[in-house]
Every structure is written in C-alpha cells, then in structure tokens.
Structure 1
C-alpha cells in the first residue's frame, strides 16, 4: 500500500509510459468509440490529470483507484482505473473557484465570483470539481446548459457553519446554475452541503458521509462534536 494518503477528489498526474502500460493491462478501451479511445490513450501525454476515487471492496489496495470522465459528446462515461503508486508523477493543485471563474462561460462568472467572495469572507478556499473542472483542464465541452456547478468547501469553524450553509443556499437559489458539492471534514470525509444543511436543521438528522472506504449515514450534529 502506498505510504501517501490520497483523498477523494485529489488530482494526480500519471507518467505517460505507466499510463500506456495500464491501458494495455486493463484492455478497457475496446468498448469505446474511436474518438474516445484516442482521447483516453493520449490523456497522460497531454498532461491531463486523473481524479482519485473510492475503490470497491476487494480492490487491490496497493494501487490507487482513479477515474476520468468523458465529455457528453463522447458518451459521458466515467472510466475507472488503478494506478500503481510508484507511477504517479505528481499531485496537481486543486482548481480554485476564483481561477475557474476566469475560464468559465460568461453567464456563470458572477455566480462563481460570488462563491469565491463567500469563501474569502469565511477564510476558506473552495475548489471546483465535476464538469466545470474537466472543461477547464481539457478545453473540451463538458458543461451543458443545465450542468451543476460542483464545489468542494473545507469545513469552517462550527460557529460559522450554519451561516456558510445558509449563504450557499442563497447563492444556489439566485442561480443561474444549481450549486452542488461537498463540505470536506477535517478527516477528509465529505457530505453534500445541501443534505448537511437539512440534517442540521432537524434534531437527530442524518447525512450521508463519504470517504475513501465507503459511505454511511451519520448524525449530522455528531460530526462537529
């Protein structure tokens, strides 16, 4: 097992030679259309990262479970692979909301800039994942008119959490696109911010918490005790 602890949503560069060997070993490209095959085959050589994902029970724990999504025009498939730890070239910095706003379609920029400003007010630096991330990284069309904007928020101080969630709900309601994403706990586990907000409003409310090892319902209030 790798001595480095990877978390969900971490971005990694893989050495091109290791990428080619992995594709040959898995043989998963035969089911893809020609254009999709070429994109995946050249993924590492283009300097594009993969994203760390949760593995399944029984997977080889000495390898790193990663994935990449194809753009909607190529089927919008989410492809999963396993990379030997020694072949990860480097971690890639998360894409900040502020940086994503500069390359996003014009109609999304005010909403993203407002999210970045919200983060600054709480001393947080939210990051982007999902369609907006992959469109920024690849230059391909991942966003569609109704695409969610997926954001990762580091957990704030408990006394600020309710205010942050309420402000996120206001940004979401104002649009133009639906804001989705997770609050990431200090353990690296994550909970959907909207579900967490609803659970905290109910005595004994539970929320689905995701980790590298699985997902389970927990009492929302107990997460911050």
Structure 2
C-alpha cells in the first residue's frame, strides 16, 4: 500500500520491530522456528503480518501467513553463510520464511534468491529497484 501524507502528520518513525519482541504475537506452532531464527541473529527484524499483529495487537495472521524478516549482512561471505543456515531452519518451519538480506550499501535481496546461483538478482534499494549483477551487491 502507498500513502501520501504531509510530513508534519507523521508522529513517529522507527525501524521494523525486532523478531524477538514480536514473537509473542506469533502462533504457538511458530515459536520453535522463531527461537531458532533469533538464535541465528538476535537483531532479526520482522515486517508484514507479524509486525502488524505485534504493533497493533490485532489479528493479522492467518493459517497461510508467512514470516517476513530482514537481516543485515556485512559482506558477500556473511550473506551466503547466513542464507545457507536459513535453509536449514526453513526446511522444518511450519510457515514460509520470507525475507531480505540488507547490505551496508542499502540494497536488499530476497534470501532464497541470494542462496541461488543466479548471476543477476532482483534488488530493492531506497530510490530504485532493479536487476543487479551478483558481483555488484556489496560494491
């Protein structure tokens, strides 16, 4: 969803909530996977339906909901290592684990896409989205 509001109407701005803080809003069946994800990176952030459920105390989750996450990675090696570890957690998770790896340059790529051997990746950035060569992700 996109909204246009006058800047002076924005009362607060904050990063997405930490997964460890939002975990209480998740279904009981998700708790073991969330604990494993927080164990991998305590600074894991969430967005999407779990974040909205946590922030509003309303039920945004359904049986088909996925878990949308954001991880900061320092370099190509860290991104690859982290994505491979995520594959292990994802294999037994009761929900789909979606999420993006965020580079220090402000580029984000879906973790499964990074784990693939694709030479070009669909990358999101603050001012533009597009296809980027893998070799340029951390440049």
TM normalised by structure 2 equals 0.89
Q: Which residue of 1 aligns with 2:138?
A: 224
Q: Partner of 1:92: helix, strand, or coil? A: coil
Looking at structure 2, the residues matched to 132 and 106 of structure 1 have their Cα atoms a distance apart, in angstroms, of 13
Closer, same or farther in 2 for the Cα pair 1:160/1:185, shift >3 Å? closer
Deviations 1:3-62 (A, max 9, x none): xxxxxxxxxxxxxxxxxxxxxxxxxxxxxxxxxxxxxxxxxxxxxxxxxxxxxxxxxxxx
Preserved CA contact (<8 Å) 2:49 2:67: yes
Unpaired stretches in structure 2, ≥5 consecutive residues: none
Unpaired stretches in structure 1, ≥5 consecutive residues: 1-77
Q: Which of the pair is proportionally richer in strand?
A: 1
Q: CA deviation at 1:140?
A: 2.0
TM normalised by structure 1 equals 0.57
Q: Which residue of 1 aligns with 2:34?
A: 112
Kindly name which structure, 1 or 2, has the bigger radius of gyration based on alpha carbons.
1
Q: Which residue of 2 aligns with 1:183?
A: 101
Looking at structure 1, the residues matched to 8 and 72 of structure 2 have their Cα atoms a distance apart, in angstroms, of 29
Q: Partner of 2:12: helix, strand, or coil? A: strand
Closer, same or farther in 2 for the Cα pair 1:170/1:188, shift >3 Å? same
Looking at structure 1, the residues matched to 84 and 71 of structure 2 have their Cα atoms a distance apart, in angstroms, of 14
Q: Which residue of 1 aligns with 2:6?
A: 84
Alignment of 1:61-76 (within 5 A): none
Deviation >6 Å, runs of 4+: none
